[in-house]
C-alpha cells in the first residue's frame, strides 16, 4: 500500500514513482510476454486485431517496424491481463481513487526500439479519456482516473524515456482539439526525465503533462501501461474493455 508520504507526493507533484513493484521473476515474465507480442507484430503488414488485442503498427520501406502500441494486450497475452490487475497495481490505485472498486480502461504494451522513431508529444491523459465531453465525468472530484506505467526495461532519456512536468496537474484539464497542448499552456522547460529500473512503476493522474521522445539509445524501451477510473466515470468504449472491466482491489482503500 502507498504510504502517506507517497500519497502526498502524488497529489502534490502529480505523480509518484514506486521502486521494485514487480520482482525480477515477474519482470522476466513481462519481458517474455512482450517478446511474444513483438514477434506477432513483426508478422503484420499493418494495424490488425489479433486475439482481442489491437496492434497499432506501421510498416515503412527500408526502416524498422513502428509498433505504436498494442491495445488490450492481455487479449493476445493473457498473462499481461493478470499482471495488469495485480494487487501491486490495483491496491495503490484504489487508495488514490478512494474506492476498492474501479473500472480498468487501459491494458497496453508500448514498444520503442532504437531507430524506430516512435515518440509521444507532451499531453494529458484527460484528453484521451474525453474529459469535457459526455463520455467522462469526474465523479470523485480529483480526476477519477489513475494510470500506472511499469518499466519492462530500464528507462532513460536516451532510450525514449518519459518526461513529466511536476505540478502541471494543478491547472486541471487543458482543452485541445487534437491532444496537442497549445503553446504556453504548460511550462515545457520544467519537464524532468523519469528514470525507472525494470519492474518499477510510476502512477500519475489525468491532468499531469508528460511525453517522450524517440529511442536514440541502443536498448529497447518497453513499458506496460494500465489505466483505471472510478466506477461511473467512463462512458467511452475501449477495445477489449468496453466501457470498463470492473476490478476490485484486494485491500481496503485508505
CA pair distance 92, 226, nearest whole angstrom: 13
Residue 181 sits in a domain of what CATH number? 2.60.120.620
Is 228 part of a structural domain of the chain? Answer: yes
Residue 81 inside a domain? The answer is yes
Q: Which structural domain range is residue 202 located in?
A: 4-248
Q: Give the pLDDT of residue 253.
A: 42
Of 147, 253, 163, 134, nearest to 207 (Cα)? Answer: 147
72 within some domain: yes
253 part of a folded domain: no
Query: Considering Cα of 167, then 247, then 223, then 120, what sign does the dihedral take?
Result: negative
pTM listed for this prediction: 0.96
Place of cell 509518484: 16
Give mean pLDDT in consecutive 10-residue pieces for the chain, a chain of 254 residues: 97 98 98 98 95 95 91 98 98 97 98 95 97 96 97 97 97 93 94 98 98 96 98 97 94 47
In a domain, 140, yes or no: yes
**175 part of a folded domain:** yes
Give a yes or no: residue 254 inside a domain: no
- Count of structural domains within the chain: 1
Amino acid at each position: 500500500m502507498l504510504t502517506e508520504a507517497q500519497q502526498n507526493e502524488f497529489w502534490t507533484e502529480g505523480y509518484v514513482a514506486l521502486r521494485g513493484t514487480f520482482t525480477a521473476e515477474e519482470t522476466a515474465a513481462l519481458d517474455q510476454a512482450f517478446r511474444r507480442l513483438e514477434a506477432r507484430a513483426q508478422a503484420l503488414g499493418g494495424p490488425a486485431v489479433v486475439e482481442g488485442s489491437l496492434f497499432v503498427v506501421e510498416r515503412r520501406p527500408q526502416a524498422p517496424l513502428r509498433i505504436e502500441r498494442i491495445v488490450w494486450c492481455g487479449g493476445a497475452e493473457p498473462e499481461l491481463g493478470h499482471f495488469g490487475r495485480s494487487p501491486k497495481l490495483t491496491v495503490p490505485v484504489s487508495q488514490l481513487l478512494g474506492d476498492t472498486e474501479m473500472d480498468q480502461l487501459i491494458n497496453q504494451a508500448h514498444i520503442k526500439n532504437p531507430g524506430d522513431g516512435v515518440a509521444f508529444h507532451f499531453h494529458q491523459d484527460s484528453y484521451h479519456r474525453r474529459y469535457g465531453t459526455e463520455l467522462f465525468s469526474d465523479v470523485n472530484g480529483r480526476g477519477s482516473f489513475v494510470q500506472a506505467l511499469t518499466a519492462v526495461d530500464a528507462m532513460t532519456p536516451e532510450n525514449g524515456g518519459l518526461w513529466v512536468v511536476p505540478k502541471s496537474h494543478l491547472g486541471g484539464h487543458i482543452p485541445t482539439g487534437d491532444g496537442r497542448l497549445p503553446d504556453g499552456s504548460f511550462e515545457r522547460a520544467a519537464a524532468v526525465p523519469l528514470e525507472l529500473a525494470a519492474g518499477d512503476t510510476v502512477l500519475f493522474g489525468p491532468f499531469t503533462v508528460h511525453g517522450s521522445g524517440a529511442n536514440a539509445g541502443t536498448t529497447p524501451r518497453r513499458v506496460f501501461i494500465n489505466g483505471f477510473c472510478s466506477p461511473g466515470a467512463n462512458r467511452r468504449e475501449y477495445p477489449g474493455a468496453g466501457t470498463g472491466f470492473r476490478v476490485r482491489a484486494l485491500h481496503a482503500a485508505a
